[in-house]
Amino acid sequence: MTEKSFGQSFTQISVEELAQRLSSGESGIQLVDVREPQEIAIASIEGFVNLPLSEFAQWSEQIPTLLNPHSETLVLCHHGMRSAQMCQWLVAQGFTNVKNIAGGIDAYSLLVDPSVPKY
Nearest to 12 by CA among 94, 79, 99: 99
Q: pLDDT tens-digit profile of 53-80? A: 999 999 999 998 999 999 999 999 999 9
Average pLDDT, the chain: 93
pLDDT at 1 over 70: no
Q: Is 10 helix (H, G, I), strand (E, B) or coil?
A: strand
Fold designation for 5-111: Oxidized Rhodanese; domain 1 (3.40.250)
Q: CB under 8 Å, gap of 24 or more: what pairs does 22-27 form?
A: 22/47
CB 86 within 8 A of CB 30: no
Active site residues: 77
Instruction: State the number of CA atoms in the 13 A half-sphere of 29 facing the CB.
Output: 17
Domain boundaries, the chain: 5-111
CB 34 within 8 A of CB 78: no
